[in-house]
Structure formats: C-alpha cells, structure tokens
Structure 1
Amino acid sequence: MVPTLDPGDQLVVQYGAVVRPGDVVVVRHPFRQDLLIVKRAVERREGGWWVMGDNPLVENDSREFGTVPDELVVARAWLRVRRPPGAGQRSAGALLSWLGSALRPVRVVPAASAARFSRRLRAR
C-alpha cells in the first residue's frame, strides 16, 4: 500500500463499517484466510469487492485472486499511525516532526478515480 502506508505503520480500523469505493480495507486473503491484507476497495462487482494496492507494480490483489467476498472484508481503516523515529533519531526536532505527522486519516480516493483505475486494468 505504499505510498499511502509505509512499512511499520499501524491502522485504527472500524469493524463492520460500510465500505465504499476508495476506502482502505482489511480483508482476509481469499487463498490464505489466516492472512490479513490491507488493500483499497475499488468497486463492487458480482461476488464481492475488487480490491487493489496503491502500488500498481505489486499484483497481490484482485488482479491475482479476483473479487473478495463480503464475508472476507474484516474492517475499514480510518486512521494511520506512523511508527516513532528510531533510537538514533530521538532528537527534539525529530520527535516534533513525528508528532506533526504521526496521526493521519487514511486518504480516500474519490470513487471516480477508483473506477477509472479499475477500467484501465480491465482494458489490459
């Protein structure tokens, strides 16, 4: 989910929330249901949600496993928490910089943009 999420980021999620196109969601991987993955819900299709990562070069998403049934959508993310700076970067300036950007709402992609992205993939 880079660039929206970085390795080590944590999410505050809402279980059972209504999912809309553009939302970042936590889903169970359709082939390995013990594995939770974070993807963006692009659109509703027959059989469930078409989900994709924000990095178009990584294909561990619906391009690989198809639609995700509703029962495998666990939660909707609404807040990203950045990890604090490493032990070597604990200066006052680094901590203040981290505080300024540690909590951010997860960016929602407008439905029109998400649908456009999805149409490009179907055209391939």
Structure 2
Amino acid sequence: MSGLLKRIGLAEVYNPSMLPLLRPGDRLVVKYGSRVRPGAVVVLRHPLQHDLLIVKRAVERRSGGWWVVGDNPQVRNDSREFGAVPDDLMVARVWVRLRPPRGPRRRLRPVLPWVLSAVRPLPALRGGRSGPAYVPSLLSWLARRLRAR
C-alpha cells in the first residue's frame, strides 16, 4: 500500500486551458508514472519552461513525443505552440477531479448536487477528439440524472 501512496499526488488547476472539463480552482488526484494513453488528461512539464507544470489532454503519439492540447480552443499554450512533448516531461496522469464548493453552503439540499459532481473520475476519452464520449461511470450517470430533474 505504501508503494501506491508514493505514486499518488495532488495538483491544482490555475488557468482555463482545459475548460469546460476542468476549471481554475479544481484539484486533481494524479498517479505519477502511469502510462499515458491517447485521450488521457495528463500533468506535464512545460517544454519551454521546465519549472512550470501544465495540464493537457494527450491526443496522440508522434515522433518526438506526445501531442497534447487543451480542451479550450481559445488557449493555445499546447503542442500547437511548442510541438510534441518528450516522454521524460510527462509527470502524471489525472485520475480524479475534485471540484471545490462555490459560495456558502448552509443547507443540505444545495450541497447534494455539489457532492455528486465534485468528485469525478477522468478516464481517457473514447473516439478521439472529433467525437468525445466519456467512459460512463456511476457517479457521472447519477449526477446527470439528478440535474435532469
């Protein structure tokens, strides 16, 4: 168990490059040393500024490394700007998103939807960027059902 805990960490999102999936202020549970797969959300060292960690989606393997992009097309701080990212700059794969509550929460009724949407597993996308379909999970299914009411 202690070996697994050494491979788990936390990160925080600071910019809007992964909107709408990740918002500034979201916390991420990451797994260090996990294998990168196409569609996975990853934490990596910025290729031009190695002391800066960024969060992007790994799109595909190319010669020279991984092609990574943000989900927000308005922000271009990704492979469109700096090219493919070498494997040694890939730090971790995002496992779970933890969304902090927005505003005061005093009653149980407004807290319940937040609880159901705050913790969300972030599996890799299926179908590539042209037709993203998140792998269904019980939590996301339940959150959609409650929001639809």
Same fold (TM over 0.5): yes
Unaligned runs of 5+ residues in structure 2 are 1-17, 132-149
The amino acid that maps onto 2:109 is G
Question: Helix, strand or coil for the counterpart of 1:35?
Answer: strand
Aligned residue number for residue 122 of structure 2: 106
Indicate conservation of the 8 Å contact 1:10/1:81, yes or no. yes
- Please, what is the CA RMSD of the aligned residues? 1.5
Written as runs of structure 1 = structure 2, the 5 A alignment for 1:71-110 is 71-86=88-103, 88-110=104-126
Q: Looking at both structures, which has the greater relative contact order when contacts are Cα pairs under 8 Å and sequence separation is at least 6? A: 1
Q: How does 1:1-124 map to 2 (within 5 A)?
A: 1-86=18-103, 88-110=104-126, 112-114=127-129
Counterparts of 2:48 and 2:28, CA distance in 1: 23
Stretch deviating more after TM superposition (89-98 or 99-108): 89-98
> What letter is aligned with 2:119?
L
Secondary structure of 2:128's partner?
A: helix
TM-score norm. by structure 1 comes to 0.85
Q: 1:84 Cα shift?
A: 1.8
- The secondary structure found in structure 2 opposite 1:34 is strand
Asked if the contact 1:85–1:94 (Cα under 8 Å) also holds between the matched residues in 2, the reply is no
Q: Deviations over 1:38-81 (max 9, x none)?
A: 00000000111000000112111000000111000000001100
Instruction: Decide whether the 8 Å contact of 2:59 with 2:128 is kept in 1.
Output: no
Aligned-partner SS, 2:51: coil
- Runs of 4+ aligned residues of structure 1 deviating over 4 Å after TM superposition are none
Query: How many residue pairs get matched?
Result: 114
CA contact (8 A) 1:4 1:106 kept: no
- Deviation string, structure 1 residues 65-113 (Cα, Å, up to 9, x no partner): 0011100000000110001232x34332222221111110114222x42
- TM (normalized to structure 2)? 0.71
| Amino acid aligned to 2:92 | A
The percentage of counterpart residues that share the same residue type is: 61
Which structure shows the higher strand fraction? 2
